[in-house]
Amino acid sequence: MEPIYQYAWLIPALPLAGAMIVGLGLISFNKDTNRLRQANSIFIVSLLGAAMTLSFALFWSQLHGHEPYTQMFEWAAAGDFHLSMGYVIDPLASLMLVIVTTVAFLVMVYTDGYMAHDPGYVRFYAYLSLFSSSMLGLVISPNLVQVYIFWELVGMCSYLLIGFWFNRKAAADACQKAFVTNRVGDFGLLLGILGLYWATRSFEFDVVGTRLQDLVASGAIPGAIAALLAILVFLGPVAKSAQFPLHVWLPDAMEGPTPISALIHAATMVAAGVFLIARMFPMFEGIPSSMTVIAWTGAFTAFLGASIAITQNDIKKGLAYSTMSQLGYMVMAMGVGAYSAGLFHLMTHAYFKAMLFLGSGSVIHGMESAVGHDAAYAQDMRMMGGLRKYMPITSLTFLVGTLAISGIPPFAGFWSKDEVLGATFAANPVLWLIGYLTAGITAFYMFRMYFMTFEGKFRGNDAAVKQTIRNEQLQAMGLAFGPGAMDPRELTMEAAHEEEVHSDDHHGHDPHESPLTMTLPLLILAVPSTLIGLVGTPFHNYFEAFIHAPGETVQLAAEAGQETLSEFYVMAGSSVGISLIGISIATLMYLRHKIDPGAIAAKIPSLYQLSKNKWYIDEIYNELFVKGSRRLARQVLEVDSKVVDGVVNLAGLATLLTGEGLKYLENGRAQFYALIIFVAVLGLVVFSGIT
Q: Which is nearer to another protein, 60 or 165 (CB)?
A: 165
Q: Considering only residues 6, 7, 30, 410, which one is a binding residue for another protein as defined by CB under 8 A?
A: 30
Minimum distance from CB of 674 to another protein (Å)?
Answer: 12
Q: Does 505 bind another protein (CB under 8 A)?
A: no
Going by C-beta distance under 8 Å and a sequence separation of 6 or more, which residues neighbour residue 36? 122
Q: Which of residues 555-594 bind another protein (CB under 8 A)?
A: none
Binding track over 381-420 against another protein, x by CB under 8 A: ----------------------------------------
Is 129:44 a contact under the CB 8 Å cutoff? yes
Give the span between the Cα atoms of 338 and 488, in whole angstroms: 54
Q: Does 218 bind another protein (CB under 8 A)?
A: yes
Q: Which is nearer to another protein, 492 or 584 (CB)?
A: 492
H helix intervals, 244-338: 249-252, 258-262, 272-279, 281-285, 288-309, 315-335
Q: Considering only residues 1, 38, 201, 663, which one is a binding residue for another protein as defined by CB under 8 A?
A: 201
Q: Considering only residues 6, 573, 677, 678, which one is a binding residue for another protein as defined by CB under 8 A?
A: 677
Quote the DSSP letter at residue 515.
P
Counts for the chain of helices (H) and strands (E), in that order: 35, 2
Q: What is each CA distance from 150 to 88, 131, 133, 479, in whole angstroms?
A: 14, 10, 9, 37
Q: Considering only residues 9, 60, 75, 615, which one is a binding residue for another protein as defined by CB under 8 A?
A: 75
Minimum distance from CB of 623 to another protein (Å)?
Answer: 17
Of 232, 341, 209, nearest to 287 (Cα)?
A: 209
Q: Does 56 bind another protein (CB under 8 A)?
A: no
3-state secondary structure of 531: helix
Q: Which of residues 148-167 bind another protein (CB under 8 A)?
A: 148-150, 152-153, 156, 159-160, 163, 166-167
Q: Does 674 bind another protein (CB under 8 A)?
A: no
Quote the DSSP letter at residue 508.
S
Q: Does 683 bind another protein (CB under 8 A)?
A: yes
Of 277, 270, 275, 220, nearest to 246 (Cα)?
A: 270
Ramachandran angles phi, psi of 86, nearest 5°:
165, -145
Is 160:127 a contact under the CB 8 Å cutoff? yes
Q: Considering only residues 2, 3, 28, 605, which one is a binding residue for another protein as defined by CB under 8 A?
A: 28
Q: Which is nearer to another protein, 120 or 456 (CB)?
A: 120
Interface with another protein (CB under 8 A), residue total 84
Minimum distance from CB of 185 to another protein (Å)?
Answer: 10
What torsion do the CA atoms of 221, 222, 226, 232 make, to the nearest 10 degrees? -110
Q: Does 474 bind another protein (CB under 8 A)?
A: no
Is 175:163 a contact under the CB 8 Å cutoff? yes
Q: Where does this chain touch another protein (CB under 8 A) — which range of 195-203, 244-252, 374-382, 515-523?
A: 195-203
Q: Where does this chain touch another protein (CB under 8 A) — which range of 197-205, 262-270, 323-331, 558-566?
A: 197-205
Q: Considering only residues 35, 67, 68, 198, which one is a binding residue for another protein as defined by CB under 8 A?
A: 198
Q: Which is nearer to another protein, 581 or 677 (CB)?
A: 677
Q: Does 79 bind another protein (CB under 8 A)?
A: yes
Give the span between the Cα atoms of 264 and 252, in whole angstroms: 13
Give the span between the Cα atoms of 150 and 554, in whole angstroms: 31
What torsion do the CA atoms of 178, 181, 183, 184 make, to the nearest 10 degrees? -170
Minimum distance from CB of 11 to another protein (Å)?
Answer: 17
Give the span between the Cα atoms of 503 and 9, in whole angstroms: 49
Minimum distance from CB of 477 to another protein (Å)?
Answer: 13
Minimum distance from CB of 638 to another protein (Å)?
Answer: 8
For 481-498, b where at least 16 C-beta lie within 10 A, e where not — what string? eeeeeeeeeeeeeeeebe
Q: Which is nearer to another protein, 218 or 553 (CB)?
A: 218
Minimum distance from CB of 173 to another protein (Å)?
Answer: 7
Going by C-beta distance under 8 Å and a sequence separation of 6 or more, which residues neighbour residue 13? 133
Q: Does 215 bind another protein (CB under 8 A)?
A: yes
Q: Where does this chain touch another protein (CB under 8 A) — which range of 50-58, 246-254, 394-402, 486-494?
A: 486-494
Omega of the bond leading into 410 within 30 degrees of 0 (cis): yes
Q: Which is nearer to another protein, 198 or 616 (CB)?
A: 198
Q: Considering only residues 32, 67, 74, 623, which one is a binding residue for another protein as defined by CB under 8 A?
A: 74
Q: Which is nearer to another protein, 178 or 371 (CB)?
A: 178
Residue 609: count other Cβ atoms within 10 Å of its Cβ: 13
β-strand partners of 82: 77
Minimum distance from CB of 492 to another protein (Å)?
Answer: 6
Omega of the bond leading into 245 within 30 degrees of 0 (cis): yes
Q: Considering only residues 39, 77, 554, 581, which one is a binding residue for another protein as defined by CB under 8 A?
A: 77
Minimum distance from CB of 193 to another protein (Å)?
Answer: 9
Q: Does 80 bind another protein (CB under 8 A)?
A: yes
Handedness of CA 212, 215, 220, 222 (dihedral sign): positive
Binding track over 304-323 against another protein, x by CB under 8 A: --------------------
Q: Which of residues 88-147 bind another protein (CB under 8 A)?
A: 145
Crossing angle of the two packed helices 429-454 and 562-586, in degrees rounded to 10: 40
Full 3-state SS string of 26-58 = HHHCHHHHHHCHHHHHHHHHHHHHHHHHHHHHH
Q: Which of residues 593-652 bind another protein (CB under 8 A)?
A: 629-630, 632-634, 636-637, 640-641, 644-645, 647-649, 652
Minimum distance from CB of 69 to another protein (Å)?
Answer: 22
Q: Where does this chain touch another protein (CB under 8 A) — which range of 249-257, 384-392, 396-404, 669-677?
A: 669-677
Of 105, 149, 129, nearest to 23 (Cα)?
A: 129
Q: Which is nearer to another protein, 389 or 631 (CB)?
A: 631
Q: Does 682 bind another protein (CB under 8 A)?
A: no
Q: Does 195 bind another protein (CB under 8 A)?
A: yes
Residue 674: count other Cβ atoms within 10 Å of its Cβ: 12
Binding track over 170-189 against another protein, x by CB under 8 A: -xxx-xx--xx--xx-xx--
Residue 517: count other Cβ atoms within 10 Å of its Cβ: 16
Among left, alpha and beta (phi > 0; psi -120 to 50; other), residue 660 is left
